[in-house]
Amino acid sequence: MLTFLASIALLILGYMFYGRVVDRIFGIDSNNETPAYTKADGLDYMPMPWWKGWLIQLLNIAGLGPIYGALMGALYGPVAFIWIVVGCIFAGAVHDYFSGMMSLRHGGAQYPALVGRYLGKNVKIITNVVSLVLMILVAAAFTAGPAQLIAQLTPISFSAALVIIFVYFLLATVLPVNQVIGRIYPLFGAILIFMAVAIAGALLFSGKPIPNVTLENLHPGELPIWPLLMVTVSCGAISGFHCTQSPIIARTLKNERDGRKVFYGAMIGEGVIALIWAAAGMTFFGGTAGLQEAIAAGGPGGVVNEISTSLLGQLGGILAILGVIILPITTGDTALRSSRMILEELVGAKNENANLKQALLYSIPVTIPAFYLSTIDYSFLWRYVGWSNQLVAAVTLWAATVYCLRHGKFHWVCGIPALFMTGVVSTYIFYAPEGFKLSYQTSMMIGTVITLIVTAWYIQQIRRHQQKLETKVAA
């Protein structure tokens, strides 16, 4: 129990202190006029209160991610606490903050545009493809589950439920951000927070011993911690999907000083939620072996339902059902909204001409494939989402690193987690079943070599930008 409480305290302290450090490094200017005013279009660019932006951002990046991912990560044992805390403070929150604030500084630009500006056009092309595929897969994956549950609980068929959900998706994608997302997301965000807090309180008073941190790998399947844990627990530690969502809120912030509260703060909030569910998974089933049996029997959704119902009674059951239906849907709709915004930016659509017709035009190309994938067994594709998600996170951190280098800022705040995530994704793809399926030792060697090569590139970038800055100062 002590470790669990200390971990939550560390996350809060991380926001209070390290979040301020990151804010200072970025160099906010509260006198800068934000895109919400300079590019106001009545659709995506419009000012909203920071607290509403925080709740929307939390729901955008969270959904069921910090619940399901944390439960799967809990199979490794209390070592998952370490990854959630350290990853969230020094990698995930930094990633989310810089992706949001860089977007803010560049007129609400989307992630691929930022990558192109700082890492080059070739990387931008790849990033556009990876980002759109990732979000289409996310939208499809987070639709099929809720539709199946709706079909089980109501007379509505699975196909009809899918149609209803995608009609909502289109409305949330094309209507002004304050009409659907701005109105219902704060409420759903509050449900997510209440659910986590209720579980935490019930867990602390349940009398069950919450395990303390150990570096021992307790995974029943004896899967290695590195790099699998870092891909399994993405939401709650660091997730590339978040950088695709940050521009939605960057276009609504009233002042740059709200960036730390919204972007860094939402990631810390997600980390707390992930900690609670990881602790619940380890504790409720008496260890990782019991948790694995429960997941095998009913999947993560069944585990959430069993924990919620047992700890919170009828209220828990209602919360579990609401969570499994509502939370993934609110991830799917913003995934498609971001896809629509990326397509608009890709073809150069002008925001001053923004209207429902234009928004609908750019929503259809991403909605149709998402709908199709939600109707078939595409699990073989979904296996690649974890790796591509963390690849996007690594690329975002490298773009932020180059941003800092160009502006003479303390680049290590982004560079160190970028190197770490480079090691994660380069090792994972060679070892994982959906990758090259090489031996663990071989994958570790290849991952190390790739990371060293990228490190050499990083050092070269440092020297090049230092020379540029020195030349500029001398001139």
Long-range Cβ pairs for the range 198-202 (8 Å, 24+): 198/311, 198/312, 198/315, 198/316, 198/319, 199/276, 199/277, 199/280, 199/307, 199/308, 199/311, 199/312, 199/316, 200/276, 200/279, 202/311, 202/312
Residue 25 C-alpha from the chain's centroid: 23
What DSSP character marks residue 284?
H
What DSSP character marks residue 76?
G
Cα–Cα distance for residue pair 431/419, rounded to 1 Å:
19
Residue with token string 């008073």: 205
What DSSP character marks residue 27?
T
CB 419 within 8 A of CB 455: yes
Phi-psi region of 287 (alpha: psi -120 to 50; beta: other; left: phi over 0): left
Cα–Cα distance for residue pair 118/99, rounded to 1 Å:
12
Residue 148's closest CA among 162, 159, 158, 134?
158
Between the CA of residue 386 and those of 99, 224, 381, 395, what are the distances in Å? 19, 16, 10, 15
Sign for the pseudo-dihedral over CA of 132, 133, 134, 136: positive
Domain boundaries, given as residue ranges, for the chain: 2-377
Write the class of the CATH domain 2-377.
mainly alpha
What DSSP character marks residue 287?
S
| Residue 433 burial class via C-beta count within 10 angstroms: exposed 0-12, middle 13-18, buried 19 and up | exposed
Peptide bond into 227 cis (omega under 30): yes
- How many CA atoms lie within 13 Å of 356's alpha carbon, on the beta-carbon side? 6
- How many CA atoms lie within 13 Å of 50's alpha carbon, on the beta-carbon side? 14
Residue 63's closest CA among 147, 151, 163, 142?
142
What DSSP character marks residue 351?
G
Q: How many residues does the chain have?
A: 475
Residue 119 C-alpha from the chain's centroid: 21
Q: pLDDT tens for the chain, 475 residues: list them.
A: 788 999 999 999 999 999 999 999 999 999 999 999 999 988 999 999 999 999 999 988 887 788 889 999 999 999 999 999 999 999 999 999 999 999 999 999 999 999 999 999 888 888 888 888 888 888 887 787 788 878 877 889 989 999 999 999 889 899 999 888 888 888 888 888 888 888 999 999 888 889 998 889 999 998 999 999 999 999 899 999 999 999 999 999 999 999 999 999 999 999 999 999 999 999 999 999 999 999 999 888 888 888 888 888 888 878 777 777 888 888 888 889 999 988 888 887 665 556 677 888 889 888 899 898 888 866 666 677 888 899 999 999 999 999 999 999 999 999 999 999 999 999 999 999 888 999 999 999 999 999 999 999 999 999 998 888 777 776 6
pLDDT at res. 431:
95
